[in-house]
Structure 1
């Protein structure tokens, strides 16, 4: 009899990409299983990258009606008769929610004594590792399979020599919440121009969230110096195909970083307040670019605070430094 397995992973698109190895290893253990993923509507782009998910359940937990959304999700779960539920999230409420699903096998992180009583498997949370590995720890009670990196469902294109694909933007939601995770748009424009002057074929890409930074680049950099592909990709899969053809990918700490890591493309990432050791695999193909600052609190975002500070010393990186690193 095929198992019906529910995965719950609330977060941004990057979180969903990093969660893929967890789902993949489980599917390898139970190849006939039916996989359902509960996620936020803002992260539905993950569905263009994989065909391993049979069904989705959406809950807008960032909206005003968070608890109504969660209750409605619970009601839908009750009708599905799942055999196993696996959920990320270290909040103590998670174990209560999973217990209320009435699913027989409940797997989540150990958040204390209550989780040990309410979950059938309370997994030790180790945040001091690559996030994909942290999520993957959740399936250790079920399988010995290991999936190191996200596996995405695209046909890689032939690499175009000397091409640098730049995706400068970050999530607009993170910016609205006071989380600044990249350099100013004017500095991105400098990077584009300097790479072009160094003889690289520069391609700039982005989606709706990246409109402001792209418009700044368009205003500052002569159009003949780069290929503007802003708005030309309809979904994350098409962006992934574009990334696969680049010799070098340069981006901010955002979802496309995790796509590039999955594809094994040589990638350079601007990091400021977040911890690069938790967001990139230790395989030498993804290289962080960081400011030489002496801030004792760095990395602070998520570890010590929920918004970035006003000084942003951790993002004081010159265009020259970025270009020099990329051209090394």
Structure 2
């Protein structure tokens, strides 16, 4: 491939997907240190690589935008005429942006559905053959049945290896984290356990009472400080649980005297109204992160934190684990309905 001055990477989906793309961004940055890398992101994952030297520019694309708004962004992309456009996102909008990007070289990853029939993505595959220079079609069901690895990061590496016709060393996950003047935790003598309150905790195998018992049992060890992080402020599914514990806000961390008084009375806190960068800082200072499978898993892995991941027994747990397991990070894998969740977490903690 001739000299590449401008590269566009499309990752307009979730936080975890973008984090799992960071090893590829590092490999491309090493291969083309003088190239300008533009990253297309979604509103939800746009905070992940803010301040990162892996990219030079970020363009936020909201799938909920009205057609004219995304058409305006497409015109902007077409005007740039990138030397290389690489699409990693499995959305119709991302394929559309790739096909009509006016880039000199267009490449895409196509993930066949894990749930639908064998004709999944057949039209996208057909169009990709017309518009793209390089395609990797991933038949995840077939790979899983044959016990082959199809981790998402490896599939992305397969695409760039096809584009550049060479192999790459697998890089680590990267999340930029800046010094946080609002939160000081380095003076604490207790170990921090962050338990993320995702709605995936609640299912036919595990309920709110089970979760409360887990938290109270962890709290029996007075060496632990337990932070419960929420996805939504006072999520109605967890209100009965979180209402039992004191809430911490950013201002509590700023006033260290007040913070010390609070942690002298209890070891369990709910962190509310936390911005992404503050939540990130809490996880970076944690000794253990406990969460059902989701974006928090990859945030913890990106910060090289030991994470307990709990998978949904009714949603192909071994399949999901193969595709989304924490990349190159130590972790504990559990499955609702198969493992004794509380017992195994407490045993591993001790």
TM-score (norm 2): 0.71
Is residue 119 from structure 1 mapped to residue 132 from structure 2 by the alignment? yes
- Equivalenced residues, count: 293
Query: Residues 118-165 of structure 1, C-alpha deviation per residue, up to 9 Å, x if partnerless?
Result: 211112426452222222322112253333431222379979776242
110-119 or 29-38, which deviates more: 110-119
* Aligned residue among 139, 143, 158 for 1:137: 158
The aligned counterpart of 2:300 is 260
How many Å separate the matches in 2 of 1:284 and 1:152? 14
How many Å separate the matches in 1 of 2:17 and 2:325? 12
The aligned counterpart of 1:149 is 172
Residue 195 of structure 1, CA deviation: 0.2
How many Å separate the matches in 1 of 2:24 and 2:327? 18
Query: Residues 101-132 of structure 1, C-alpha deviation per residue, up to 9 Å, x if partnerless?
Result: 11001111255343223211112426452222
Residue 85 of structure 1, CA deviation: 0.4
How many Å separate the matches in 1 of 2:292 and 2:155? 22
Query: Residues 177-214 of structure 1, C-alpha deviation per residue, up to 9 Å, x if partnerless?
Result: xxx52234443332221101134413214255253266
Aligned residues of 1:85 and 1:106 also touching (Cα < 8 A): yes
Kindly report which structure 2 residues correspond to 1:85-96, keeping only aligned pairs within 5 A, or say none: 85-90=85-90, 95=95
Is residue 50 from structure 1 mapped to residue 47 from structure 2 by the alignment? no
How many Å separate the matches in 1 of 2:230 and 2:72? 31
The aligned counterpart of 2:242 is 218
The aligned counterpart of 1:169 is 197
The aligned counterpart of 2:217 is 194
Q: 1:125 to 1:325 in 2, by over 3 A?
A: farther
Q: Cα RMSD (Å) of the superposition? A: 3.2
Aligned residues of 1:167 and 1:252 also touching (Cα < 8 A): no
How many Å separate the matches in 2 of 1:49 and 1:215? 35
Residue 289 of structure 1, CA deviation: 1.7
Query: Residues 243-262 of structure 1, C-alpha deviation per residue, up to 9 Å, x if partnerless?
Result: 23322221222222112212
SS at match of 2:37: strand
Residue 28 of structure 1, CA deviation: 1.0
The aligned counterpart of 1:309 is none
The aligned counterpart of 1:242 is 282
The aligned counterpart of 1:320 is 342
How many Å separate the matches in 1 of 2:222 and 2:188? 14
| Unaligned segments of structure 1, at least 5 residues | 171-179, 294-316
The aligned counterpart of 1:231 is 272
Aligned residues of 2:297 and 2:326 also touching (Cα < 8 A): no
Q: 1:168 to 1:37 in 2, by over 3 A?
A: same
The aligned counterpart of 2:32 is 30
Aligned residues of 2:305 and 2:329 also touching (Cα < 8 A): no
| Unaligned segments of structure 2, at least 5 residues | 111-123, 141-148, 180-184, 247-261
Query: Residues 260-303 of structure 1, C-alpha deviation per residue, up to 9 Å, x if partnerless?
Result: 2123222101211352222214656111221244xxxxxxxxxx
SS at match of 1:52: coil
How many Å separate the matches in 1 of 2:228 and 2:57? 30
Q: 1:136 to 1:225 in 2, by over 3 A?
A: farther
Kindly report which structure 2 residues correspond to 1:302-321, keeping only aligned pairs within 5 A, or say none: 320-321=342-343
Aligned residues of 1:95 and 1:118 also touching (Cα < 8 A): no
SS at match of 1:42: coil
How many Å separate the matches in 2 of 1:136 and 1:251? 27
Aligned residues of 1:107 and 1:122 also touching (Cα < 8 A): yes
The aligned counterpart of 1:300 is none
Q: 1:70 to 1:147 in 2, by over 3 A?
A: farther
Residue 27 of structure 1, CA deviation: 1.0
TM-score (norm 1): 0.75
* Aligned residue among 204, 214, 228 for 2:227: 204
Is residue 278 from structure 1 mapped to residue 323 from structure 2 by the alignment? yes
How many Å separate the matches in 2 of 1:98 and 1:104? 11
